[in-house]
């Protein structure tokens, strides 16, 4: 939704728009400009399917990518849902090839899934027609030890972290993203929002998010995602 807002400001606050939401796909069309922006919900990028054993996260399958082909610009991101466990985990098994797993190290699973996406980019994207961005890892602030205050979380935080480097260092998911991107043959621009977002322990909804008692993974709006949008805007029009 933040991307929609950025484009709305670029194209004019009073532009006539048509909004459609259906089956995980949302679109907004700016009628005067002939511009359409689509939000396709695929939290793992790879396929999530149902079979006799339940819901399967298929690490080496990306049939959903057929919906992305031929776009002028694609902006991808993933990781947030890879860490979910228990009742918030939307799959029963992971699958690679013919083998199913009840679980596996989530960073390894993330690497496998992201590699499948990278192969899709190399196989499908025509760089003369489609520009591809990958938005980097969005950090969480559940554990105050990450910024040297082990008794705290994001709850009640009103100031960013101040310092020359973030104590927790680089998230391993960031390492995975950069390793996969380094092997893609087609051009993909990384919107590296990780470090600047690590500093913003104060930017989460925390106790004010409604359904979550202490939400230290999503972000307030207006807020930090507006800075991400500015980076995207600069990358588009540099």
The model's pLDDT over 176-217, given as tens digits with 9 standing for 90+, comes to 999 999 999 999 999 999 999 999 999 999 988 777 678 999
Nearest one of 92, 125, 94, 130 to 111, comparing CA atoms = 94
Query: Does residue 23 have a pLDDT over 90?
Result: no
My answer on whether 35 and 52 are in the same domain is no
Q: Bridge-partner residues for 22, per DSSP?
A: 25
pLDDT for 11 equals: 58
Which backbone phi and psi does 132 adopt, to 5 degrees?
Answer: -115, 130
Q: How far apart, in whole angstroms, are the C-alpha atoms of residue 73 and residue 87?
A: 35
Q: Are the CB atoms for 64 and 44 separated by under 8 Å? A: no
pLDDT for 208 equals: 86
My answer on whether 8 and 126 are in the same domain is no
pLDDT for 212 equals: 64
pLDDT for 71 equals: 93
**How many distinct structural domains can be found in the chain?**
2
Exposure on the CB side of residue 166, measured as CA atoms within 13 A: 19
State the alpha helices, DSSP H only, in 96-193: 106-124, 172-182
pLDDT for 213 equals: 76
Query: Does residue 2 have a pLDDT over 70?
Result: no
My answer on whether 137 and 174 are in the same domain is yes
My answer on whether 132 and 230 are in the same domain is yes
My answer on whether 27 and 67 are in the same domain is no
Select the more confidently predicted residue: 2 or 222.
222
Residue 97 region by backbone torsions, left for phi larger than 0, else alpha for psi between -120 and 50, else beta: left
pLDDT more than 70, % of the chain:
94
Per-residue pLDDT band at 3 (split at 50, 70, 90): very low
State which residues form the domain around 36. Answer: 1-41
Coil, helix or strand at residue 169: coil
My answer on whether 112 and 25 are in the same domain is no
Query: Does residue 104 have a pLDDT over 80?
Result: yes
pLDDT more than 90, % of the chain:
82
b or e along 33-64 (b: 16 or more beta carbons within 10 Å of the residue's beta carbon)? eeeebeebebebbbbbeeeeeeebbbbebbeb
My answer on whether 30 and 144 are in the same domain is no
My answer on whether 51 and 23 are in the same domain is no
Select the more confidently predicted residue: 126 or 6.
126
Q: How far apart, in whole angstroms, are the C-alpha atoms of residue 132 and residue 52?
A: 36
My answer on whether 156 and 226 are in the same domain is yes
Nearest one of 4, 12, 65, 59 to 36, comparing CA atoms = 4
Query: Does residue 4 have a pLDDT over 70?
Result: no
Report the mean per-residue pLDDT for the chain. Answer: 92
Select the more confidently predicted residue: 214 or 118.
118
Per-residue pLDDT band at 1 (split at 50, 70, 90): very low
My answer on whether 37 and 47 are in the same domain is no
Query: Does residue 12 have a pLDDT over 80?
Result: no
* Lookup result for tokens 């106790």: 207
My answer on whether 70 and 50 are in the same domain is yes
Beta pairing class for 25-30 and 17-22: antiparallel
Select the more confidently predicted residue: 12 or 58.
58
With a CB cutoff of 8 Å and minimum separation 6, the contacts of 112 are: 59, 60, 96
My answer on whether 37 and 49 are in the same domain is no
Q: Bridge-partner residues for 99, per DSSP?
A: 96
């Amino acid at each position: 939704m933040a991307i929609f807002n950025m484009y709305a400001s670029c194209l004019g606050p009073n532009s006539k728009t048509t909004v459609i939401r259906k089956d995980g796909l949302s679109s907004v069309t700016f009628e005067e400009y002939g511009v359409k922006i689509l939000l396709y919900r695929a939290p793992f990028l790879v396929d999530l399917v149902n079979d006799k054993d339940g819901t399967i996260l298929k690490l080496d399958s990306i049939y959903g990518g057929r919906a992305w082909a031929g776009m002028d610009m694609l902006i991808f991101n993933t990781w947030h849902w890879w860490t979910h466990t228990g009742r918030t985990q939307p799959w029963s098994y992971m699958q690679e090839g013919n083998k199913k797993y009840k679980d596996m190290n989530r960073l390894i699973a993330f690497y496998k899934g992201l590699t499948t996406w990278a192969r899709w980019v190399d196989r499908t994207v025509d760089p003369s027609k489609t520009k591809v961005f990958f938005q980097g890892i969005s950090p969480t602030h559940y554990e105050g030890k990450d910024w040297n205050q082990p008794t705290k979380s994001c709850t009640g935080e009103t100031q960013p972290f101040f310092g020359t480097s973030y104590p927790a260092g680089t998230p391993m998911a960031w390492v995975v993203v950069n390793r996969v991107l380094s092997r893609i043959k087609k051009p993909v621009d990384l919107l590296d929002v990780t470090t600047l977002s690590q500093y913003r322990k104060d930017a989460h909804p925390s106790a004010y998010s409604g359904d979550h008692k202490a939400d230290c993974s999503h972000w307030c709006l207006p807020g930090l995602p507006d800075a991400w949008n500015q980076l995207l805007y600069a990358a588009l029009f540099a």
